């Protein structure tokens, strides 16, 4: 026996949810209606492990955004310039991500609305337009990192020129279309497979680098220098921007609704529990990979007099000679290509969710992907033409700072909604968790204002 999927019609989920926002209008639909409640669950008497496995997937899709090529730029520069010091920033940002993604999953499951739909129901049109524009800017910045990462990986592995590689990255739209047509589980399996490749590649490189354990442990301890050193702070905020992705909060609140859980209090509570475990475990994998990138960079470059390594191409060229492992550079490039390819999938879905949620505007998936990818290719082409490949690394890092600046526009509405009992009913978060969530939002705001002040003055 399996739970039947809820009817895919305008008010099917809202009627059973404790939602207290504006009543959905005629023609409103579920989030990602083509895959809504498409993953069936085992019967209630099945083992807990089988029930948990049925919910595994969305967390790993979300974790993709926490190890995309944008993270590589910030982690490589952080490790090369400052050794293991910024490991504490990676750990802090990952803990923040675990909390925020759990809140995002709770919102989607408890209310049957993704974050974009929730904003549209709650805020006036002017505010929604501003939020939508901020989200689109974040997706373009993320897409920019994916374009650069994929193009650089193709250049390193196959000698394809940077501009040609950027143009070839447009073709990933068809991968998404093919997998979505096969079923959402196929999409999840593809992503988990690529994540496994990335993890294996960096596990080998960490072993080859043989970093000192004492240095790593010290790096996880907070340091006041991170705040007082403006260069270190710039990269630290870039790490937070690259790790806590604003569009991932919209994505997660939607894709958790692909599970056909019972639209009852018990069914929703179980779904929230398993979805939280799924994302927490997946983001611990992201923590390992991000820390591994910085550790390899610190061990290979910071301690060997190569603190000026800032470009991915430089890291690729130096890794094998420094580590004494011939395959190290190839593994680095393969992992980069897997990360770039993986990230495009979540960017596609997030773009669709945000556009449909805020504007109720539906356009074909291939058109949405080509549009955002085209907008991302333009600055890559311009920077490469003006400054050559050396300027691409700075553009990659700058894109992550843009992402960090967009974070408050996603975090504040999310925390506002899940801490309001009138909107969440019995699924509202506790006061302690709400206080912690608002503290995280405040930390993000303070860091962003500090970065803006240093940049302008």
pLDDT in tens, 314-351: 788 888 888 888 888 899 899 988 888 888 777 777 88
Nearest Cα neighbor of 135 from 354, 389, 360, 442 is: 354
List, in order, residues 6 or more apart from 401 with CB less than 8 Å away: 234, 237, 238, 241, 451
Q: How confident is the model at residue 368 (pLDDT cuts 50, 70, 90)?
A: low
Query: 57-456 has which fold?
Result: Amino acid/polyamine transporter I (1.20.1740)
Contacts of 182-189 with C-beta under 8 Å, sequence gap 24+, read 183/35, 183/38, 184/35, 184/38, 184/39, 184/57, 184/255, 184/258, 185/39, 185/57, 187/61, 187/345, 188/56, 188/57, 188/58, 188/60, 188/61
Nearest Cα neighbor of 407 from 250, 246, 253 is: 246
List, for residues 370-382, the tens digit of each pLDDT value.
676 666 667 767 7
Q: What is the reported pLDDT for 444?
A: 79
Paired with 230 in beta bridges are none
Burial of 217 from C-beta contacts in 10 A (0-12 / 13-18 / 19+)? exposed
Q: What is the reported pLDDT for 270?
A: 94
What ranges do the domains of the chain cover?
A: 57-456
Task: Calculate mean pLDDT across residues 137-143.
Answer: 77
- Is residue 421 pLDDT above 60, yes or no? yes
- Is residue 300 pLDDT above 70, yes or no? yes
Helices (H), 159-264: 162-168, 172-182, 184-209, 213-219, 225-228, 230-243, 246-255
**What does each C-alpha distance from 130 to 114, 135, 447 come to in angstroms?**
18, 9, 21
Q: What is the reported pLDDT for 255?
A: 94
Q: What is the reported pLDDT for 24?
A: 47
Q: What is the reported pLDDT for 265?
A: 93
Of 369 and 128, the one with more pLDDT: 128
Q: Which two tokens stand for residue 320?
A: 């094998």
* DSSP H or E run through 4: none
Q: What is the reported pLDDT for 59?
A: 94
Cα(396)–Cα(71) distance, integer angstroms: 9
- Is residue 84 pLDDT above 60, yes or no? yes
428: left (phi over 0), alpha (psi -120 to 50) or beta: beta
Cα(14)–Cα(20) distance, integer angstroms: 9
Q: How confident is the model at residue 68 (pLDDT cuts 50, 70, 90)?
A: confident
Q: What is the reported pLDDT for 44?
A: 80
Cα(71)–Cα(149) distance, integer angstroms: 10
Of 197 and 141, the one with more pLDDT: 197
Q: What is the reported pLDDT for 4?
A: 45
Beta strands in 355-424 (DSSP E): none
As a whole number, the mean pLDDT across the chain is: 82
Q: What is the reported pLDDT for 389?
A: 61
- Is residue 241 pLDDT above 70, yes or no? no
What is the model's pTM?
0.85
Cα(78)–Cα(240) distance, integer angstroms: 12
- Is residue 32 pLDDT above 90, yes or no? no
Of 433 and 229, the one with more pLDDT: 433
Q: How confident is the model at residue 13 (pLDDT cuts 50, 70, 90)?
A: very low
């Amino acid at each position: 026996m399996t739970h039947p999927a809820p009817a895919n019609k305008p008010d099917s989920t809202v009627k059973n949810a404790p939602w207290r926002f504006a009543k959905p209008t005629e023609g409103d639909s579920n989030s990602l209606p083509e895959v809504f409640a498409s993953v069936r669950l085992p019967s209630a008497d099945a083992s807990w492990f089988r029930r948990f496995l049925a919910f595994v997937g969305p967390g790993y899709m979300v974790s993709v955004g926490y190890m995309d090529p944008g993270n590589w730029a910030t982690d490589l520069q952080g490790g090369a310039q400052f050794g293991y010091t910024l490991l504490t920033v990676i750990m802090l940002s990952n803990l923040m991500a675990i909390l925020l993604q759990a809140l995002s999953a709770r919102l989607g499951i408890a209310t049957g609305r993704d974050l974009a739909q929730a904003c549209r129901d709650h805020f006036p049109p002017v505010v929604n337009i501003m939020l939508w524009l901020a989200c689109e800017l974040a997706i373009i910045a993320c897409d920019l990192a994916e374009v650069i990462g994929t193009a650089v990986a193709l250049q390193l592995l196959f000698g394809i020129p940077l501009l040609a590689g950027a143009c070839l990255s447009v073709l990933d739209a068809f991968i998404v279309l093919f997998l979505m047509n096969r079923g959402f589980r196929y999409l999840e399996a593809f992503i988990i497979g690529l994540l496994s490749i990335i993890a294996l590649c960096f596990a080998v490189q960490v072993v080859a680098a043989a970093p000192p354990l004492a240095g790593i442990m010290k790096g996880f301890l907070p340091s006041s220098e991170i705040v007082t050193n403006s260069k270190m702070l710039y990269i630290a905020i870039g790490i937070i921007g690259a790790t806590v992705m604003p569009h991932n909060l919209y994505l997660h609140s939607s894709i958790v609704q692909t599970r056909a859980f019972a639209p009852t209090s018990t069914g929703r509570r179980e779904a929230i529990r398993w979805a939280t475990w799924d994302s927490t475990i997946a983001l611990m994998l992201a923590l390992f990979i991000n820390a591994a990138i910085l550790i390899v960079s610190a061990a290979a470059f910071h301690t060997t007099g190569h603190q000026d390594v800032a470009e991915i191409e430089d890291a690729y060229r130096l890794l094998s000679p420094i580590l004494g492992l011939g395959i190290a550079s190839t593994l680095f490039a393969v992992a980069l290509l897997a990360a770039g390819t993986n990230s495009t999938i979540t960017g596609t879905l997030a773009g669709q969710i945000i556009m449909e949620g805020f504007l109720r505007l539906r356009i074909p998936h291939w058109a949405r992907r080509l549009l955002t990818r085209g907008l991302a290719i333009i600055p890559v082409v311009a920077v490469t033409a003006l400054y050559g490949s050396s300027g691409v690394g700075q553009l990659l890092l700058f894109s992550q700072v843009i992402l960090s600046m967009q974070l408050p526009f996603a975090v504040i509405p999310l925390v506002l909604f899940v801490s309001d009992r009138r909107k969440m009913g019995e699924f509202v978060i506790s006061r302690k968790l709400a206080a912690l969530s608002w503290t995280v939002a405040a930390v993000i705001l303070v860091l962003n204002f500090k970065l803006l002040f240093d940049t302008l003055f």
